[in-house]
Chain A
Amino acid sequence: MSNIAYINGQAFTIYDGETLYQFVSRHAGDEIIPVLCNDDALEAFGSCRLCSVEVAREENGPRRTVASCHTLVQEGQYIYPDSSTIQKLRRTILELLLSDFPEDALIPVTGEKATPFQDIVRKNGISASRFPRNARPQEVDKSHPYIHFDPAQCIHCYRCIRACDEIQGEFVLAMHGRGYRSRVIASLDQNIADSECVSCGRCVQTCPTNALTDRYRAKTFIPDKTVRTVCTYCGVGCNLEIMLKDGEIHAINAVDDAEVNQGHCCLKGRYAFSYYNHPDRLTTPLIRRDGKLQAASWDEVLDTIASRLEEIKNTHGHQSIAGISSSRCTNEENYLMQKFMRVVIGNNNIDGCARVCHAPTAFGMRQAFGTGAATNSIQDIASTDCMLVVGANSTEAHPVTGAKIQQQVIKGVSLIVIDPRKIELTRYATVHLQLRPGTNVALLDMFIYYILSEELVDNKFVAQRTEGFEEFRHAALAVDIDQLGKITGVEHERVREAALLYGQARNAMSFHGLGLTEHYQGSRAVMLLSALAMLTGNIGRPGVGVNPLRGQNNVQGAADMGVQPKLGAGYLDVTDETIRQHYEKHYGRPVPAEDGLTTPEMINAAHDGKLKALLIMGEDILQTDPHSGHVRSSIENLDFLVVMEIFMTETASLAHVVLPACSHLEKSGTFTNGERRIQRVNQVLPPLEDTRSDGQILVDLMNRMGYPQKGYDPDILLQEISRVVPFFAGVKWNELGDNGKQWPVREDGTDTKVLHTDQFTRGKGKFVFTRFHETPELQGDDISEYPLILTTGRRLQHYNCGSMTRRTPNVELVDRDELLLNPFDAARYRINNNDNVEVRSRQGTTHLRARISDDVKPGVLFTTFHFPEVAINQLTSGVLDLDAKTPEFKVTAVAIGKLEQL
């Protein structure tokens, strides 16, 4: 008999490599073998022994007891998963556990469901123990705003420790001591709040008792409704299970079978949801009367907007109006926003927050490959041999992807980090190239020089699939490597080492973030990174490619939907006559041919009085765009500012009309994550009080302004989008399923994990070489007055301008922006930790609390932009990327000085 084993005498088929537990559970149900230490998301551990079964080589042969979770099933084996011997064994193990378990914790907390442990105890009919009870620790650790630990309920299954190790890769939890006296500790035996815990909550989700719980009791909460939707806190696109009761959100779990996050997520996705019904939510339309924003009815404000826009258009021409869309909104809403601007207002003055983040990626990768999106999928991290991470702090800004990268690197996959800061990933990195901010192009030039000089070029790939190589090679080899070393501040031997790692790897994959794009030469750097992949043949198969990590949940989708001036929905060039015909066919109205304004151009046009009206959907440009002094005066110069928002942001407070929109939890639609995955966002709750979804607001406006648009419905809108956007051809609301589809989606519904497999979207890949040019920000006669470079980024606990996360208990973890400075600079300016420091740039001044750290090099400062009290973008400069017009947030020339203690 081959491939057969017997469960209680009955024959069943074996799969290769299957454990006894998997085999028995698959055929006889997962109730028959109870488990405590086993979690399918973790490696088998074999500690609880509750899963023990009896096995024999032949029927009625001598039986052996083995743990089924880690023992492979064998052909012809006789398995007795619930014999009386086994049942007795299980009952005694449970009795042993019960002898120390708090008696009052054996039944579910009133109103909650049972934990897996409580369930198993009940099913085995154990209520008392014959074994002596030892005194157990009583103190519950409630130091952390979300995660609580009650050691008395810990059954030593190690699941929390293994989750912290095998999934998050943080190793904060560990077992201390040995034997009976061993216990779970956090960091150096500290309470959780003081430990290095990153609050991902994976330990809580896996804990089979109430030893580890969260403040929302997510594990045992009994919802009256559960909705699966997509997180909005970054471009990873984690799937969340939202639990409701009486119409309110009570708790969130990460979805176990989600392809994106496999039961994992970060503290923002899991815990930071209480903003949604925060008292600060805008719930009434507001209109400015007598210089003050005052409550109004929807009809009133919509009529006002329609008439004011018509009026301005008639008086100042159709180019005097512009719109800014939002990457936090759905694809359908972004599609409507650009359509509104193009066919109702009648210009191409439409832009979105991709302008301030990944527009250089879209531009640069389009130049090189023909498509401005990630070439590969996140799952490829598991099959690559080398990762190159440039200007992306993934463990904080894209935590679930960051954890996946970290897992592979810890296991020995090589990692090159190009970043001015010692970010968490550098701890395990093979090489960290800590360059001076603003010198990515110089560093990539060095990198490419060594790929060429060390003969690491994939000649076959280059010959068959690319163009422009000879010219590129010639220029790239002509660089002065010593001088580039001085510019970047990185020894060229280290760059050579990195080039060898990347160039010699069988499969090498790059990731980049805003540290690459938000620069004077941002787009050019993206082109060089793309060239690097082509030079080494790292394109077109799993485990390779160029993969931007998207900062917001729908940056990819907003751009796909046409939220940029020149390229309409599906990146089709509106200046092309045939393209306009294509759009006109579907929109029923002509699309203007004239190129429109980017966001920085809109602000300048407002400043110059050329732009009169601006419609902003869900963006706080005053806090997130650079040189906010300039932004403020420009906005104040507008005749009419409309803001659709959920909170009264800095920008909204200057508006003439504020429309109370609703959060992603209150609407349906789709988001497209950083790996081109279009996922369904499912409405969890009805819109709060008198709020409306951005999509519905746009529909209402379009109808009022004479364009018939059906009510906001993602199903119907996707039907329209799939006709307009070629790579959405096969996208249907009802066919997206739980895990979505990665574009391009062909008409038959099949999707795409890897782009450019046989040829590039543009045919042949194009090499473009660029030499380094210093940003104007660091030049000029007055530069000696600003001797330091300030660069900015995010922290794990907060999201962008912080309007959402600051209204959650995340502020108990991080309640301010801080200024990181090197000990050398601290000494030079006589600054101590926690000193209040004045930071001054050409654009403005702010105050920050100092934290001394060698994570930054001398001469470099770092801070975040989450808190309006600091409003760091008062300082950032007006320098733009030469190609994509993206502001150079990452380099600001500054001076610092200690303020007297307050």
Chain B
Amino acid sequence: MSRNLRSLSARHIDGKTLFEALSEQASTTGSLTDDQLRSLSRERLFSGASLLATGSFYDFLKRENRGKQAYLCTGTSCLLSGQQKHAHDVLKREFPEQAIGKAVCLGHCYCSGAYQIGERIYDAENGAVSAGGSETIPVYSHTTSPMLTDHIGDITALYELALMNRAGIIEALQASGLRGRGGAGFPFATKLAACAQEPEGQKYIVCNGDEGDPGAFSDRYLMEQQCHRLLAGMLAAGLAAGSDSGFIYIRAEYPLAVQKMAEAIDAYNNTDIFSRIGFQFRIIRGAGSYICGEETALLNSIEGLRPEVRMRPPYPAQEGLYGKPTLVSNVETFACIPWILANSGRRFASIGTGKSTGTKLVCLDNGFVKPGIHEVDMGTSFETVIHEFGGGFRRPTKAVQVGGPLGSVVPVDRISDLSLDFESFHQAGFSLGHAGIVAIPRDFAMLDFLRHLFRYMAEESCGKCLPCRLGTEKGYRMLAMATARQPLDRAAFNDLLQVLEAGSLCGLGAGLPLPVRNILTYFDNELVDTIK
């Protein structure tokens, strides 16, 4: 992270951000040309090299992807569904091969074989165009206190909840026990209080809508269908922290979410509340990079720097966006806030296990009989979630991966040991993450699954720290070359996992060993010939 570049970027803080300017330029030509870079360089005082450094990082800005017209989803669910080839064939009928790119993940894991053309997303299984996509997400509520999936009535009433005094908001959130829904489960009120305690001055609220994990589409759902809930939650947290400005970072693979959130912000801007308090929202649209879901990379992305992970400390609460105190949290976390303010923190805390409170949106992929979004109480037995709410598996299944590609791999025979809360998973050597669940079919080789995980991370690693940059690539190459005749050196592989886990700068490298070790533990018999 360069203080100099950040300071130069901040010179245009009120107008179009540098990242937006880059994306806009790229959208006219498909990527950034030398002339565009030179002209932006004059305008933004960034050197051409610094601009190219940023542009070349993103899938949708880099020069290699110029001229792509359609993108095929290579996410885990699409891979496991077996529909990728079919989707590719469909696209090949319409486009020349060089016009077909790859994207992960399009967030349509409840169907299979997804692909994107322009601003719309389709799927191979249904063949037909899924009109607009989002309306087709099946949504179920299994709670007596639906707080994320029920109908929003009067939006003014929702926003008025944010007008409570600052201490009151923090108190209610403290009482609620709300923990971050993005995966790490950090107590939200602690983060908020840290930001609120910083000296008064410019502060920012940033909503992390970069839901890149295959198997998760709950944030997409919230950003498409529960927009005001999210905005009201950000507003309340923002006012409590002493901020007057919120950024919503939405990944480029979610065009409909960008559109719906923009419409919602327009509606908010027309409310009486906006004219009274002046809190502003801005949408930043991503450009194709998984690491932007890491909070410090996301902040760098908004600033137009390379979205490489920052060292911590300093934490965003002290030195975040443009160096100002910043509260970064996930979509679902913010979306819980209005219900808490309307119903009290204590009521929220009464749902769940005491340590894991409230409800959770669980995403089930196309390997389930009832794929879609399920709102369930924290603490619900995992068996119930999988077999009752999800209706069980559509095909013979050996394991589920919970919480994205860096989430744990739970063999089916351990499902009955677990309940849907952070502690239960943690104690059993797993992790709940954001509770997006992908079913791994029995006939899908675990070696291939490992290759998929490593390859995914090798492609998405920002490359800043050596353990992750080299560990993901070399791990992938070891797995790719492993055969029964030339098995992989397990001691070296274990050392590599250790370096990834203990040495990585962020959760991408540090998180990868968890599913890998789960697989090595539970599917040893399957791998015994190739990993020795």
Interface residues of A (CB under 8 A from B): 36, 43-50, 52, 65, 67, 70-72, 85, 88-89, 92-93, 95-97, 99-100, 130-132, 134, 155-156, 158, 162, 165-166, 169-182, 185-189, 195-196, 407, 410-412, 427-428
Beyond A96-B499, A178-B289, A188-B37, is A172–B470 a contact (Cβ under 8 Å)?
A: no
Beyond A96-B466, A96-B499, A180-B469, is A174–B492 a contact (Cβ under 8 Å)?
A: no
Contacts of A166 in B (CB 8 A): 2-4
Minimum CB distance partner of B465 in chain A? A47
Distance in angstroms from B393 CB to nearest chain A CB is 34
Distance in angstroms from B304 CB to nearest chain A CB is 13
The answer to whether B3 touches A176 (Cβ under 8 A) is: no
**B505 beta carbon closer than 8 Å to chain A:** yes
Q: Binding site of B, secondary structure by majority: helix, strand, loop or mixed?
A: helix
Minimum CB distance partner of A70 in chain B? B311
The answer to whether A88 touches B495 (Cβ under 8 A) is: yes
The answer to whether B466 touches A156 (Cβ under 8 A) is: yes
Q: Which of B28-46 contact A (CB under 8 A)?
A: 34, 37-38, 45-46
Minimum CB distance partner of A428 in chain B? B45
The 9 closest A-B pairs by CB, nearest first: A171-B47, A174-B53, A174-B49, A180-B473, A46-B311, A130-B492, A96-B470, A65-B502, A179-B461
Distance in angstroms from B323 CB to nearest chain A CB is 10
The answer to whether A180 touches B470 (Cβ under 8 A) is: yes
Q: Which of B463-507 contact A (CB under 8 A)?
A: 463-467, 469-474, 477-478, 481, 489, 491-492, 495-496, 498-499, 502-505
Contacts of B3 in A (CB 8 A): 43, 166, 411
Residues of B in contact, count (CB < 8 Å): 55
Beyond A93-B466, A97-B470, is A172–B49 a contact (Cβ under 8 Å)?
A: yes
> CA separation between A65 and B465, bound complex, in Å?
15
19 other contacts beyond A67-B505, A97-B470, with CB at 8 A cut-off?
A45-B311, A50-B466, A52-B503, A70-B311, A71-B313, A85-B502, A88-B495, A93-B499, A97-B466, A100-B470, A131-B492, A132-B477, A132-B478, A156-B466, A172-B47, A172-B49, A174-B53, A179-B461, A179-B472
Minimum CB distance partner of A427 in chain B? B45
Minimum CB distance partner of B460 in chain A? A179
The answer to whether A410 touches B8 (Cβ under 8 A) is: yes
The answer to whether A174 touches B4 (Cβ under 8 A) is: no
> CA separation between A149 and B477, bound complex, in Å?
27
Distance in angstroms from A191 CB to nearest chain B CB is 13
**B374 beta carbon closer than 8 Å to chain A:** no
The answer to whether A178 touches B471 (Cβ under 8 A) is: no
Most chain B CB within 10 A, of A52, A92, A169, A185, is at A92
Beyond A180-B470, A188-B52, is A174–B47 a contact (Cβ under 8 Å)?
A: yes
> CA separation between A812 and B503, bound complex, in Å?
45
Most chain A CB within 10 A, of B7, B62, B467, B492, is at B467
> CA separation between A178 and B498, bound complex, in Å?
23
**B381 beta carbon closer than 8 Å to chain A:** no
Contacts of A131 in B (CB 8 A): 470, 474, 477-478, 492, 496
> CA separation between A169 and B311, bound complex, in Å?
22
The answer to whether A93 touches B503 (Cβ under 8 A) is: yes
The answer to whether A177 touches B62 (Cβ under 8 A) is: yes
Distance in angstroms from A420 CB to nearest chain B CB is 20
**B462 beta carbon closer than 8 Å to chain A:** yes
The answer to whether A156 touches B463 (Cβ under 8 A) is: yes
Distance in angstroms from A160 CB to nearest chain B CB is 12
The answer to whether A96 touches B49 (Cβ under 8 A) is: no
Distance in angstroms from A732 CB to nearest chain B CB is 41
**B57 beta carbon closer than 8 Å to chain A:** yes
Distance in angstroms from A14 CB to nearest chain B CB is 17
A–B Cβ pairs within 8 angstroms, 27 of them: A48-B465, A49-B467, A52-B503, A67-B311, A88-B498, A92-B495, A96-B496, A100-B470, A131-B492, A155-B466, A156-B469, A158-B464, A166-B3, A175-B53, A176-B52, A177-B56, A178-B57, A178-B463, A179-B459, A179-B460, A179-B472, A180-B458, A180-B463, A186-B49, A188-B34, A410-B4, A428-B8
The answer to whether B472 touches A49 (Cβ under 8 A) is: no
Minimum CB distance partner of B497 in chain A? A92
Q: Which of B150-197 contact A (CB under 8 A)?
A: none
Beyond A49-B503, A89-B503, A165-B2, is A134–B477 a contact (Cβ under 8 Å)?
A: yes
Pick the residue among B56, B311, B463, B503 that contacts A65 (CB under 8 A).
Answer: B503
Pick the residue among A47, A411, A412 that contacts B464 (CB under 8 A).
Answer: A47
> CA separation between A155 and B473, bound complex, in Å?
15
Minimum CB distance partner of B34 in chain A? A188
Distance in angstroms from B473 CB to nearest chain A CB is 4
Minimum CB distance partner of A176 in chain B? B56
Distance in angstroms from A339 CB to nearest chain B CB is 49
Contacts of A178 in B (CB 8 A): 56-57, 289, 291, 306, 460-463
Contacts of A45 in B (CB 8 A): 311
> CA separation between A171 and B491, bound complex, in Å?
42
Minimum CB distance partner of A64 in chain B? B502
Contacts of A185 in B (CB 8 A): 49, 52-53
Q: Which of B297-340 contact A (CB under 8 A)?
A: 306, 311, 313
Contacts of A92 in B (CB 8 A): 495-496, 498-499
**B48 beta carbon closer than 8 Å to chain A:** yes
**B50 beta carbon closer than 8 Å to chain A:** yes
Contacts of A181 in B (CB 8 A): 463
Contacts of B57 in A (CB 8 A): 177-178
Most chain B CB within 10 A, of A45, A50, A177, is at A177
> CA separation between A428 and B2, bound complex, in Å?
16
Contacts of B62 in A (CB 8 A): 177
> CA separation between A85 and B495, bound complex, in Å?
10
> CA separation between A182 and B45, bound complex, in Å?
23
Contacts of A99 in B (CB 8 A): 470, 474
**B415 beta carbon closer than 8 Å to chain A:** no
> CA separation between A570 and B434, bound complex, in Å?
76
Contacts of B313 in A (CB 8 A): 71-72
Distance in angstroms from B118 CB to nearest chain A CB is 25
Distance in angstroms from B458 CB to nearest chain A CB is 6
Pick the residue among A88, A89, A169, A171 that contacts B49 (CB under 8 A).
Answer: A171
Most chain A CB within 10 A, of B37, B57, B478, is at B57
> CA separation between A95 and B495, bound complex, in Å?
10
> CA separation between A67 and B459, bound complex, in Å?
24
Contacts of A97 in B (CB 8 A): 466, 470
Minimum CB distance partner of A65 in chain B? B502
Contacts of A169 in B (CB 8 A): 4
Contacts of B56 in A (CB 8 A): 176-178
**B5 beta carbon closer than 8 Å to chain A:** yes
Distance in angstroms from B460 CB to nearest chain A CB is 7
Contacts of A89 in B (CB 8 A): 498-499, 502-503
Minimum CB distance partner of B306 in chain A? A175
Contacts of A44 in B (CB 8 A): 311
Distance in angstroms from B104 CB to nearest chain A CB is 14
> CA separation between A70 and B313, bound complex, in Å?
8
Distance in angstroms from A329 CB to nearest chain B CB is 39
Distance in angstroms from B402 CB to nearest chain A CB is 25
Contacts of B52 in A (CB 8 A): 174, 176, 185, 188-189
Contacts of B461 in A (CB 8 A): 178-180
The answer to whether A179 touches B498 (Cβ under 8 A) is: no
Distance in angstroms from A428 CB to nearest chain B CB is 6
Contacts of A49 in B (CB 8 A): 465-467, 503-505
Minimum CB distance partner of A178 in chain B? B57
> CA separation between A197 and B37, bound complex, in Å?
17
> CA separation between A97 and B467, bound complex, in Å?
9
Contacts of A410 in B (CB 8 A): 4, 7-8
Contacts of B489 in A (CB 8 A): 130
> CA separation between A580 and B263, bound complex, in Å?
87
The answer to whether B53 touches A180 (Cβ under 8 A) is: no
Beyond A89-B503, A178-B57, is A47–B466 a contact (Cβ under 8 Å)?
A: yes
Most chain B CB within 10 A, of A50, A172, A175, A179, is at A179
Contacts of A412 in B (CB 8 A): 7
Distance in angstroms from B52 CB to nearest chain A CB is 6
